[in-house]
Copies of this chain bind each other. A is one copy, B any other.
Amino acid sequence: MNFKDIDLVQEPNSKSSLRLWIRLLKSSRIIENKLRDKLRREFSTTMPRFDVMAALFRFEKGLKMNELSKLLMVSNGNVTGIVDRLVKDGLIVRMSVAGDRRAFEVRLTKKGHQEFSHQAQQHEAWVDEMLASFCEKDSEELLQKLDGLISALSDPSLEVKK
């Protein structure tokens, strides 16, 4: 992908909601694409793997599969596959939960913890490099606006009718 051509994209004169959504999608796609590229080149890993490990890094005691899937906002079955591969690579482990023979706790292994610590540091540096110039100016405001957006989106009273 060549990111120099992105400015070919020009939005039509639509309502502000739609324009907002298109910008939102575009900015996160740009960042996502760059990060994916870096993760692959530098660490031979992917965003979904990184995301799972990040969640487990934060919740040291471990997470159940369904907690993981809620946290990452992806489907249940999706998590199964990613976790399978991380287990195969010795980066995480499934542990049975006392009192519930259906459930698993997933945790980082020592190797996984080490590997992720290193990756996370670089990852943060990349994000910083990408956003630094923007963040000097007015990141705090954008941050707050996005928070407002997120809570508006999560407000059940506004839930799009099922």
Contact = CB atoms under 8 A, between A and B. Distances in A.
Interface of A: 1-9, 12, 14-21, 23-34, 38, 58, 67, 70-71, 73-75, 124, 126-135, 137-143, 145-150, 152-156, 158-160
This chain: copies in complex: 2
Contacts of A9: 71, 73
Contacts of A139: 16-17, 20
Contacts of A131: 17, 20-21, 149, 152-153
Nearest to A147: B23
Contact of A24 (B27, B124, B135, B141): B27
A30 B160 CA distance: 12
Most chain B CB within a 10 A radius of its CB, from A29, A126, A128, A145: A145
A128 to B, nearest CB: 4
A40 to B, nearest CB: 12
Contacts of A137: 148
B160 A8 contact: no
Given A23-B143, A26-B73, A27-B150, 7 more contacts: A4-B156, A6-B70, A16-B139, A34-B160, A129-B160, A138-B145, A142-B145
Nearest to A9: B71
A153 B27 contact: yes
